[in-house]
Amino acid sequence: MTAAVGVADLSRGTSVNVGLIEGGSGSNVSAGRASATIDIRVETAAEMERVDRELDAVGVSDPRVRLEIDHYWNRPPMTAQPGDPLLALVREAAHSMGLDLQDTSVGGASDANFVAALGVPVLCGMGAVGGGAHARGEFIYPDAVPLYTALTADALSRLVDGLPPLHG
């Protein structure tokens, strides 16, 4: 697992989490089979390729052990588009409400990743405001729900006339 986790490079936006380890038939028996499921988040297709290469290079020291790595990227990375007209539209809506909306990247995965990979403007994360996503301490700020619902409604109303062309 150390070699897999060593592939992480947070400066490139790449995280590695060995989230599930299974195997063996008892605590006093050498495992005849074991598996690990690893969650990897990357920001670019080039990072996907680097991670694949580095994982493929992982070896074992015991000749009785066979290591198989199944590469299964279930989503392409969601890469920000410079001059994204949808983000600009939502920022304008936010500004009209007295908000200074900043964009951010959190390394998550959603269906928006598929849309972004097509080069279509898309936003993700217009939902609840809070913290601790997918953890026991996950929370939202209930008082923010009406404000961000209004922001979403305003942004949607501005889309009636369509988006200006992508620039940047």
Encode pLDDT of 17-42 as tens digits.
998 999 999 999 989 999 999 999 99
SS3 labels along the chain = CHHHHCCCEHHHCEEEEEEEEEECCCCCCCCCCEEEEEEEECCCHHHHHHHHHHHHCCCCCCCCCCCCCCCCCCCCCCCCCCCCHHHHHHHHHHHHCCCCCCCCCCCCCCCHHHHHHCCCCCCCCCCCCEECCCCCCCEECHHHHHHHHHHHHHHHHHHHHCCCCCCC
Classify 85-161 by CATH class.
mainly alpha
pLDDT in tens, 63-110: 999 999 999 998 898 877 778 889 989 999 999 999 998 877 776 778
pTM of the model: 0.73
- The residues spanned by each domain of the chain are 2-56, 85-161
